[in-house]
Structure 1
């Protein structure tokens, strides 16, 4: 059966997460329903990351096996037709080898978290960013983020229900930038690692927000990390501002894509 990689973006707000559930809407369920309109016996699809309820994606990657030898462009067009009106889109499609696996072949995942500091409620970006009503300072957050880089036991920043075999992970990047935002400021957290623990990014951002607000000192983040104790973590921020931004592979699918996010 020919195997295809799909690059998918979605608004996670209406869904219970990526993973298919019997009684709740999911992104996986929406994509599989569209696939069955093309071929009735499509096997279950696999994705690079099982995003939680309310988490968005700019560059989720999934693979599927089909009976027919589809032209990738026509497959993406057909899927987008049948995905309507769900806020899900296949933005790229490519034929891949049988040994390609969206999850197990991935060498890195990249996440973006958007945090907006402004007093006024959000209108256009409601559900797409996390808003806090107070000012934040960028340099202390950047200093605190450096304590998290590298290989650590991240028990402090791991959800109690996390099913990962080990809390030890290597964080390759946690870069924070400040940009203009109407009547406020936006802080973008760019996070990169081979894999993540459950709620790890949201735990990072919630804790770093406390540093930016002045409630924590940058050194307090290192103290929390070294404690290896979930109780030492700062608040876990809501999912609204979290995006799976991209996935990296040794041999990148979507070589013809113009944005390069998977190259």
Structure 2
């Protein structure tokens, strides 16, 4: 059975998350329903990562085994037709080797978290960014983020429900940028690593927001990390602003 990889963009607001769930709308379920309309074997998707309810994606990746050969472009076009009106789009499709796996073949994952700094409620970006009313000091946030770069025990920054066998993870990069927009100053926190713990990015963002708003000092981030205690973490940022932006493979099957 030929295997295909997809790059997938979605707005996570209407869904209970990526993973298929009984009686709950999911991104996986919506795509598998679309697949079943063009392949009677009802193919099952495997994804690079399972995003939570309300989390979005620019570059989620999944693979599927089909019963028949498809031209990748025609397959993506057929899926996009059957995905209407769900806010999901297949933005790339490629034929891959039978042993290629969206999750286990990935060498890097990138997330972006969007914060918009303003007092007024969000209108156009409602559900797509975290509105933070207090002015944020991005220089202080960067100083706090430095303590998280590298290999650490991230027990403080993972959900108590995380199923990972080890809290050890390596964060390769955290970049914090601020840009003026028509809706207010937007702060983007980009995080890069091979893999992440459950709720790790949202826990980091919530903690850095506490630093930016003046509630914590940058060195308090190191103290929280060293505590290896979930209770030492800052607040967990809401899912609204989180995007799985890119999954990296070597070689790049979508090149």
Contact 2:36–2:43 under 8 Å retained in 1: no
Contact 2:35–2:43 under 8 Å retained in 1: no
Contact 1:19–1:50 under 8 Å retained in 2: yes
For the aligned residue pairs, the C-alpha RMSD in angstroms reads: 0.7
Contact 1:105–1:249 under 8 Å retained in 2: yes
1:13 aligns with 13
What is the CA-CA distance between 1:60 and the residue it aligns to? 0.3
Q: What are structure 1's unaligned runs of at least 5 residues?
A: 256-263
Aligned residues: 255
1:250 aligns with 250
CA distance in 2: counterparts of 1:124 and 1:197, whole angstroms: 30
Which digits, 9 at most, give the CA deviation of each residue in 1:138-187, with x for residues without a partner?
10000100000000000000100000000000001111000112252111
Which digits, 9 at most, give the CA deviation of each residue in 1:75-112, with x for residues without a partner?
00000000000000001101011111000100011000
What is the CA-CA distance between 1:251 and the residue it aligns to? 1.2
1:226 aligns with 226
CA distance in 2: counterparts of 1:181 and 1:229, whole angstroms: 37
User: What TM-score do the two structures reach when normalised by structure 2?
Assistant: 0.99
CA separation of 1:37/1:216 partners in 2, compared to 1, >3 Å: closer, same or farther? same
User: What TM-score do the two structures reach when normalised by structure 1?
Assistant: 0.96
CA distance in 1: counterparts of 2:93 and 2:248, whole angstroms: 15
CA distance in 1: counterparts of 2:40 and 2:217, whole angstroms: 56
1:80 aligns with 80
Note the 1:165-244 alignment, pairs <5 A. Answer: 165-182=165-182, 184-244=184-244
2:149 aligns with 149
3-state SS in 2 of match to 1:39? coil
Q: What are structure 2's unaligned runs of at least 5 residues?
A: none
What is the CA-CA distance between 1:42 and the residue it aligns to? 3.2
